[in-house]
Amino acid sequence: MIVIVGAGLAGLSAAYHLRGMPYKILEREREVGGLCRSYVKDGFTFDYTGHLLHFRQTAIKALVESLLPHRLQRHARKSFVFSHDTYTEYPFQVNTYGLPPEVVRECLLGFIATLSRSPSTPPAENPSFKQWIIESLGEGIAKHFMVPFNEKLWQVSLDELTSDWVSWLVPKPDVKDVVSGALGIKDKAFGYNPSFQYPVSGGIKVLPEAFLPSVENLTYGSELVEIETGRRRAVFRSAQGERIEEYDRIISTIPLPELVRRCVDLPASMRELAGALRWVSVYNVNLAVAREHVSDKHWIYFPEHRYPFYRAGFPMNFSPSMGQPGCSSLYVEISHQPTEKESETSLIERVRRGLEGAGVLQPTDELVMSDVKDLYYAYVLFDRYRSRAVKELLAELERRGISSIGRYGLWEHTSMEDAIAQGQQLAMRLRMRAAA
């Protein structure tokens, strides 16, 4: 028996691709999706932060489109950076046109300096994230966007983070791209997400829900309590009490530190490794105001520290069905340390002041709805400890019949597409193993 812990995208995909094999899937919440969920309040639909589909894998794209036929709409990205009281298109490094001339000059000269590095001084091996930014993009782009924005997002010094995760998220432009962007010449789309797909209605929750007709043996409201890996038994707790599940294999999609904590017979060394993993939490502040079209953009980045949030998005620009006529809705993201807590009232007040300061909202705007979700596990910190710790933990768990997958199960920065692919790939390996 295969026991799947968690009905997020990775767990649902594993179950979907295990059809015909004996499995059970147990979910702590009363609905599927994990963080890939939506909720409705006062007639407004919000996702748990921005969830947009950027496909890089043909097979996963085909699968999702088959699950949601005619229910996805493609959008050309309208994302911007707001700094120096100016909107520039994202990505910043190839769109500095319109910024104060001295800022544009700093960015250009800094980038050009990266091209003149002496062959005798090769790039550092596994540099810090900050070092990578400076060596790849230059001092100006680092100063005016990359460093302040990422410090707000990650809540730590960028010297503490590695750069081994940034290649597909932050591609290095060539000199033509940077110069063209400084002159306002747009001759190509740039970045990994120049367009995206999003459900026509219902929010992002329609994606995990689309797996359900093909998923069996799903139990809601069941939380993993402990696993005895030696005896291959797992204990789950629900409103009805505790139940024991005997297993041949566990597929876990819960955060890796939580999984390790629940494995009661793991060596102390494994617990120590998991206990040192770090992450950042995010306040997802959702608002609605009684004014149409407060912005024509999909989302905006805010690198400057005078704004408490690092990003704001506009769900009704993804789909008008996300809100009410005559209104606009916004999601606003503020990173914080997992141990820090702030009241909903304080958060909403700070966000409103910041949005008014940026000109997104007006002092006269009537707030018709507000809500805050605290996403405890939001982004994994890629510090120098992470890689070795995760490798050892995953290997030890595999030896004990536990496969940990998904964004937090693998403790990495991945997309919805990646989560689906991980579930699929693991299911295929288990099928092959069973057939051997």
pLDDT per residue as tens digits for the range 174-227: 999 999 999 998 876 666 568 999 999 999 999 999 999 999 999 999 999 999
How far is residue 17's CA from residue 428's CA, in Å, rounded to a whole number?
7
Average pLDDT (316-320) is 97
pLDDT at 119 over 60: no
Distance, C-alpha 305 to centroid of its chain: 22
Average pLDDT (263-278) is 97
Residue among 403, 322, 274 nearest 13 (CA): 403
Beta partners for residue 219, in sequence order: 26
| Confidence tier at 123 by pLDDT (50, 70, 90) | low
Name residues whose C-beta falls within 8 Å of residue 253's C-beta, 6 or more positions apart in sequence. Answer: 4, 5, 6, 8, 10, 11, 34, 404, 405, 406, 408, 409
How far is residue 54's CA from residue 42's CA, in Å, rounded to a whole number?
29
Superfamily of 2-39+49-74+200-277+382-435 according to CATH: FAD/NAD(P)-binding domain (3.50.50.60)
pLDDT recorded at residue 112: 94
pLDDT at 293 over 50: yes
Residue among 375, 374, 377 nearest 278 (CA): 377
Name residues whose C-beta falls within 8 Å of residue 423's C-beta, 6 or more positions apart in sequence. Answer: 9, 10, 11, 12, 13, 14, 15, 16, 17, 251, 405, 406
CATH architecture of 92-184: Orthogonal Bundle (1.10)
Residue 171 vs residue 264, higher pLDDT = 264
Per-residue pLDDT reduced to its tens digit, 130-178 = 999 999 999 999 999 999 999 999 999 999 999 988 866 777 889 999 9
Q: Which position has the token pair 């953009």?
A: 297
Q: Which position has the token pair 């960015």?
A: 107
Of the chain, the percentage scoring pLDDT greater than 90 comes to 90
Q: Are 406 and 181 in contact (CB under 8 A)?
A: no
| Confidence tier at 120 by pLDDT (50, 70, 90) | very low
For CATH 1.10.3110, list the domain ranges present in the chain.
92-184
For CATH 3.50.50.60, list the domain ranges present in the chain.
2-39+49-74+200-277+382-435
| Mean confidence (pLDDT) of the chain | 94
Residue among 313, 404, 318, 306 nearest 357 (CA): 306
* pTM (two decimals): 0.94
pLDDT at 118 over 60: no
Per-residue pLDDT reduced to its tens digit, 25-45 = 999 999 999 999 999 999 999
Q: Are 269 and 347 in contact (CB under 8 A)?
A: no
Q: In what order do the strands lie in the sheet with 241-246?
A: 223-228, 233-238, 241-246
Name residues whose C-beta falls within 8 Å of residue 215's C-beta, 6 or more positions apart in sequence. Answer: 7, 12, 15, 16, 25
* Tokens read off for 126: 């596994």
Q: Are 10 and 409 in contact (CB under 8 A)?
A: yes
pLDDT at 287 over 70: yes
pLDDT at 366 over 90: yes
pLDDT at 436 over 80: no
| Confidence tier at 72 by pLDDT (50, 70, 90) | very high
pLDDT at 416 over 90: yes
Cα dihedral 53→54→60→64 (10° resolution):
30
Average pLDDT (389-410) is 97
CATH fold group of domain 279-380: Polyamine Oxidase; Chain A, domain 2 (3.90.660)
For CATH 3.90.660.20, list the domain ranges present in the chain.
279-380
Average pLDDT (85-100) is 96
